Amino acid sequence: MTSLIKPRARKVRILATIGPASSSPEMIRKLSEAGADAFRINMSHGERSEKAAQIAAIRALEDEGRPSTILVDLQGPKLRVGNFEGGSAVLQPGKNFGLDRSGELGNSERVELPHPELFQAVGAGDRLLIDDGKIRLRVTSASAEHIETIVEVGGKVSDHKGVNVPDVLVPIPALTEKDRADLAFALEQKVDWIALSFVQRPEDVAEARELIGDKASLLAKIEKPAAIERLDAIVELADAVMVARGDLGVELPPEGVPPMQNRIVATARQHGKPVVVATQMLESMITSPTPTRAEVSDVATAIYDGADAVMLSAESAAGDYPCEAVDMMNRIAISAESDPIYPARVHFTSTPAEPTTADALSTSSKHIAQIVSAKAMVCYTSSGSTARRVARERPTVPILVMTASKTVARRLGLQWGVHAVHTRDVTNFEEMVGKARRMALRHQIAGAGDRLVIMAGVPFGVSGSTNVLHVVKVTGDELETYTGPAEA
C-alpha cells in the first residue's frame, strides 16, 4: 500500500455505474473521491475492449489503499418486437393488434415477435407491455404462431422496443448466449460480482452458480413478479440481491413497487445477504445539478430501511453531472445516518440470530460494543462470513474487517458498514489482536484509549470457525510496533 484510506463517514455503500460520461480513469477516480464504493459495468452497452479498460482503471484505485469492487451486470433475455414499416406504427386503443412469427415488417395491425417460447406461454387475459409499459395489450387468444390482443393503452411504437410479460413465468433461461460469452469475459477479468438479470426462479440462480463457481459472487436482480413468489429460495441461493425497480416498476403497478421493495430488502436482511436498491434514485440529476426533493426522500428511505447499497445508473453512466450525483447520494446517506432515530429505524426489520456460535457472538458483540462504548468492531475473516454476520446486526460503530484474501476484501465492497483491509495472514490470537489495534489506528478508526470489540475464529484460516470475542483497549504506542508496508 502506498497510502491508507480512512473509512467512509457512512455505512451504506454507493454503487456507481460506469458509462460514456464516466469511463475515463480520471472520471473513475473522481467518482471514488466523491464517494463511490463500488462500480457497476453494464454489459447491455459497449464493447468488451472498453469494459476491460474500465476494469483496469478501477483496479488502479487500489494504489490508494482501498480494495476496489467491480460488479458486472449481464443483459439477460430482453424480449423485443420486430421491425415496422417506416420504423414505427401507431396503435389505437380498442383496436385489435396481432403478434406473429412471420418475419414481415409490422404496421398498426400486427408485428413480428421473434420469441417462439412466448406463443404457448401466454393465454387469454394476460398482459403484454411494450416500451416500458407505454403500450398495453391484453391477450384475447394465442396459438403456436399467433397472439391476438386488444390495445388497452395505445400510442407510437418503434422498432425493437422491449416487451414485458408480467402475468406469465416465461419459459426462457436467464442466461442467453450473449450472457454466457459476457460471463466468460467477466470471469477472465477477475471481477468481484456478477449480476444476473431477469431472475424468475431459483433454478436460474443455480444455473449461473454452476458456471461461476467460486470465481465471483453472484447477485440476483429481482425485477420479475414471478421471482417474488419464490423470493426466499432465490435469496438463499444468491450471495446478494438487487431491487431492480426499472422492469419491476413496469410489470407491477406503480403503487406496488414500494411494498415490494420493502419486502425484498427485509428478506435479504433476514438471510444476512447484501441488498442493493437501484434505478431512478436521482433520475433528474441526469440533466440537472440538483435532485428533486422526492428523489432525496427515496434514497433516504432505502437507507432507513437498512439497504446495504444504493445504486446510480444513468446518473453516473451517461448524465451531465456524474460526480455531483455521487456526492449528493453520499450527502443524503450521511444526513440520514446522522438522524437520531436512524439506529432504531434500521432495526425495524427483525433479524433473529440463527442457533450458531457465529450468530450468537455477532449479536453479543453488538451489545457489548454499545455497553463499553467501543469505537469499532473488528473481525478477521478468511471467507467474509464473519463480516457478513456482524454487518447483519447493523451495529452503531464501524466494522473493520481484516483478511488475507484480496478477493474477499474486494467482494465486501457491497457490505453495509464494512471497511475491509487486505493484510498479511496471522498465526495466533495475540498477533491478530496486535494487528487489530495497529490497523484501527492507521486507518483512523480508533485512537489511543479507545476500545475495540474483536471477533475471530481459532484455529485461524478455517472458514466458519468464529468462536472468540475479545475487548481490547488501543494504547498510544501501537504505531511504534508497526513493522512497515510488508505487514499490510
Q: How many domains does the chain have?
A: 3
Give me the pLDDT at residue 460, please: 66
Let me know if 80 is a catalytic residue: yes
Give yes or no: residues 271 and 130 share one domain: no
Share of the chain above pLDDT 70, in %: 95
387 in the same domain as 469: yes
| Candidates 17, 69, 267, 279; catalytic one | 279
- Note the pLDDT of residue 360: 87
pLDDT tens sequence across 128-162: 999 989 999 999 999 999 999 999 999 999 999 99
Asked whether residue 247 is domain-assigned, the answer is yes
CATH code (residue 278): 3.20.20.60
Q: What is the pLDDT of residue 456?
A: 80
Which of 342, 373, 402 is the last residue before a domain boundary?
A: 342
Q: Rounded mean pLDDT of 177-181?
A: 97
Query: The CATH number of the domain where 94 resides is what?
Result: 2.40.33.10
pLDDT tens-digit readout, 335-382: 999 999 999 999 988 888 788 887 888 888 899 999 999 999 999 888
Write down the catalytic residue from 30, 48, 80, 451: 80
| Listed range (65-79, 276-290, 345-359, 392-406) with the worst mean pLDDT | 345-359
| pLDDT tens-digit series, residues 236-253 | 999 999 999 988 989 898
Over residues 441-474, the pLDDT tens digits come to 999 999 999 999 998 877 666 665 677 888 999 9
Domain presence at residue 4: no
Q: Are residues 296 and 383 both part of a single domain?
A: no
Give me the pLDDT at residue 64, please.
Answer: 76
Handedness of CA 168, 172, 175, 178 (dihedral sign): negative
Question: Average pLDDT in the 285-312 region?
Answer: 98
Residue pLDDT, tens place only, 30-67: 999 999 999 999 999 999 999 999 999 999 999 877 89
The reported pLDDT for the residue numbered 66 is: 87
**134: in domain:** yes
In a domain, 352, yes or no: no
237 and 132 in a single domain? The answer is: no
Give residue 192's pLDDT.
Answer: 98
Q: Give domain status of residue 123, yes or no.
A: yes
Domain holding 373, by residue range, is: 357-487
Residue 8 lies in a domain: no
pLDDT at 324: 98
Return mean pLDDT, the chain. Answer: 92
The model's confidence at residue 485, banded by pLDDT at 50, 70 and 90, is very low
CATH number of the domain within which 368 lies: 3.40.1380.20
pLDDT class of 2 with cuts at 50, 70, 90: very low
Percent of the residues in the chain that have a pLDDT greater than 90, as a whole number: 79
Q: How confident is the model at residue 221 (pLDDT cuts 50, 70, 90)?
A: very high
Mean pLDDT of 271-280: 96
Whether residues 71 and 36 fall in one domain? yes
Last residue of a domain, one of 342, 376, 397: 342
Residue of 10, 11, 13, 40 marked catalytic: 40
Q: Are residues 105 and 220 in the same domain?
A: no
Q: Looking at the structure, do residues 258 and 338 belong to the same domain, yes or no?
A: yes
Mean pLDDT of 288-299: 98
Q: What is the model's pLDDT at position 4?
A: 54
**Is residue 1 situated within a structural domain?**
no
Q: Is residue 422 assigned to a domain?
A: yes
Residue 88 and residue 157 in contact, taking contact as beta carbons nearer than 8 Å: yes
Kindly state whether residues 317 and 337 are assigned to the same domain: yes
**One domain for residues 127 and 269:** no
Q: Which of 161, 221, 389, 411 is catalytic?
A: 221
Please measure the distance between the N-terminal and C-terminal CA atoms of the chain and give it in whole angstroms. 7
Decide if pLDDT at 233 tops 50: yes
Per-residue pLDDT tens digits for 90-135: 999 999 999 999 999 999 999 999 999 999 899 999 999 999 899 9
Does the active-site annotation cover 221? yes
The predicted pLDDT at position 272 comes to 93
pLDDT of residue 466: 73
- Do both 426 and 281 map to the same domain? no
Which residue among 132, 164, 196 closes a domain? 164
* 184 plus 268 within the same structural domain: yes
pLDDT above 80 (res 487) = no
The answer on 121 and 237 residing in a single domain is no
Cell 445516518 maps to which residue?
337
Q: Tell me what the mean pLDDT of segment 78-91 comes to.
A: 95
40 is catalytic: yes
pLDDT at 356: 83
